[in-house]
Structure 1
């Protein structure tokens, strides 16, 4: 596992669609490749479609006035983002840049909305997925506001690898962790050392290994 399995701010709606609809949208979509650090979309762009990540990873966030990029989510292959902007019809509110080389598909807004009308079950599934992810995001945000930094980091890492994985690894830098937690890099590093002291994580170069997700999740609630 090389990146996060879910976003803390963007519902993964594409995966809730009927498989036949997914296949149709992929067939009619446009594939694009991006180099490391290349801008995929910018805040204020028209919501002319949403993105499906086929290979690589994407950092979603906002550029600060000084040019620094502050990430709020790190997405990997199989993830999608931008669906909510398509539904609202409003300009995009986040920037997105490629993390390493990536390959994405742009699912155009109009064909998507037109095709969705032929799949009523997918419409209901989208509402269910949106509600579930909203509840999940609110739960995560509540924990991030009130827990200690090591507990917050434990919850973030446990969320990244998902419930299906017991032992996994996450390819993420300390700066990206700091951005996601909303703290300095030094604070994120101190929290990571605390988790390592409890043998909840194993640190590698640009990678964090989680020996036991359940233990990590329990620590997040302690």
Structure 2
């Protein structure tokens, strides 16, 4: 059932009939506390009418993944906006020959799949979730209806999407013009800006295998370049992640001529 009535009463009725309205006790207290906290931090949710914020809260559902799983496949219509509570979501793309590359990662506190709210078309890429992750889901049609009632919410959303787009464009520019280590630095800056929540510590959550494939080099070559960046204090490497202590310093290094 499509969720998206013209008024709040219609929305609540549709949610109840579809089983998407959160029943009392359906979520544990720490889930509810996390959602309320992320609502307060979100510049998009922050401008919504309080009644609509409450409606969005009631529509939330928890999904936990004991093993790696998919949130959606290419060719399917995106039906949900996701909020990562723990673990990690990954945006991947693949070739007809079976090759796969991770092009963005989203850690705890990240909102994932705003495009499903803006444009409910068939997705061209696949979202994966790593084992042990917990996500909060919101019906994208309901979010779209609420956004349309609260037009001011589109401003901060477009601003956030614009920042991600500029980061991707900057990465493309430096990929063509920079030296190898600078290209890696710029890739890390892009990954942090696209998949991060904007707060320190800034983390690019990819394994070395994923990062090497995205960089177009071998793991051995990647290790050398990561070591060069770590030696001058621009990054810290760890299992499945690269931490950037000072994002602006890394960006300056990437842009240096």
Shorter-chain TM-score tier = 0.7 to 0.9
Match of 1:198 among 232, 247, 252: 232
Contact between 2:72 and 2:127, CA under 8 Å: does it hold in 1?
yes
- Residue 18 in structure 1 maps to residue 45 in structure 2: yes
Structure with higher helix content: 2
Helix, strand or coil at the partner of 1:100 = coil
Structure 2, gaps ≥5 residues long: 1-40
Structure with higher strand content: 1
Structure 1, gaps ≥5 residues long: 1-13
Contact between 1:26 and 1:105, CA under 8 Å: does it hold in 2?
no
Return the alpha-carbon distance in structure 2 between the equivalents of residues 134 and 168 of structure 1.
18
Cα distance, 1:90 vs structure 2: 1.3
Helix, strand or coil at the partner of 1:46 = coil
Matches within 5 A, 1:97-176: 97-159=128-190, 160=192, 164-165=199-200, 170-176=204-210
Return the alpha-carbon distance in structure 2 between the equivalents of residues 46 and 179 of structure 1.
28
Return the alpha-carbon distance in structure 1 between the equivalents of residues 131 and 206 of structure 2.
12
Higher relative contact order (CA 8 A, sep 6+): 1
Return the alpha-carbon distance in structure 1 between the equivalents of residues 45 and 106 of structure 2.
22
Match of 2:59 among 28, 31, 50: 28
Could you give the per-residue CA deviations for residues 69-108 of structure 1, whole angstroms, max 9, x where no partner exists?
A: 3100011112122221342221011112112311112221
Which residue is 1:72 aligned to? 103
Return the alpha-carbon distance in structure 2 between the equivalents of residues 217 and 127 of structure 1.
23
Cα distance, 1:170 vs structure 2: 4.8
Contact between 2:105 and 2:205, CA under 8 Å: does it hold in 1?
no
**Alpha carbon RMSD of aligned pairs, Å?**
2.8
**How many aligned residue pairs are there?**
208
Which residue is 1:92 aligned to? 123
TM-score by length of 2: 0.68
Return the alpha-carbon distance in structure 2 between the equivalents of residues 63 and 52 of structure 1.
24
Which of the two has higher C-alpha Rg?
Answer: 2
